[in-house]
Chain A
């Protein structure tokens, strides 16, 4: 089936630093989603993107729908300890189920 690649797999950053991660697909999508998962919990939707080139923010988080429709990017500015978790991207084409990436594990050092 379809697979998404997420980069990096994991990252350790200092509190206050900015974070960038991305997600790529071999197929085009018309919707990209970004989720965050805290330990022991289910994923929670952060940002949804519906148009190529779209840039959407949610507080300190900003995500972009790639122009090629095969990638998406998530940036976190001025990281804080509660940003720790696993970040998943998910993509779907019209009428299809969402496909999820393997996740980027973020650790924030005080």
Chain B
């Protein structure tokens, strides 16, 4: 089973460029989310979705857009990359948005903005 698949694994962007981080899951999970991981700060929630067609903002949503057209895919778009967005990005999924089950994480995308 593939679980949660993230692409690309590494990316370097110039300031002002845009790009999309891809996330796909094959577990038929309703809930999907994006986190960024920075040294000493743990995982911070960017955006999340409780089902196809439904998205909401997390703790640090500025500079990022998401959409959820299918259950399987939850892409994260950087509109105009900034050095402050240099981070490791993780996509996660769960059967539901409740607290009855933990999240399954992808292996991450390491993004550097120069």
Q: Could you tell me which A residues sit within 8 Å of B by CB distance? A: 1, 4, 9, 30-31, 33, 35, 40-45, 48, 50, 88, 90, 92-98, 100-103
A43 contacts B90, C-beta separation under 8 Å: yes
User: Within the assembled complex, what's the spacing in Å between the Cα atoms of A43 and B42?
Assistant: 11
Count of B residues near A, CB < 8 Å? 26
The answer to whether the Cβ of B41 comes within 8 Å of any Cβ in the partner chain is yes
B105 contacts A44, C-beta separation under 8 Å: yes
Query: Which chain B residues numbered 71 to 114 have a C-beta less than 8 Å away from chain A?
Result: 90, 92, 97-108
Q: How many A-B residue pairs have CB under 8 A?
A: 61
Which chain B residues border A31 with CB–CB below 8 Å? 99-100
Q: Could you tell me which B residues sit within 8 Å of A by CB distance? A: 4, 33, 35, 40-45, 48, 58-59, 90, 92, 97-108
Which chain B residues border A1 with CB–CB below 8 Å? 59
User: Within the assembled complex, what's the spacing in Å between the Cα atoms of A102 and B37?
Assistant: 9
User: Within the assembled complex, what's the spacing in Å between the Cα atoms of A103 and B102?
Assistant: 17
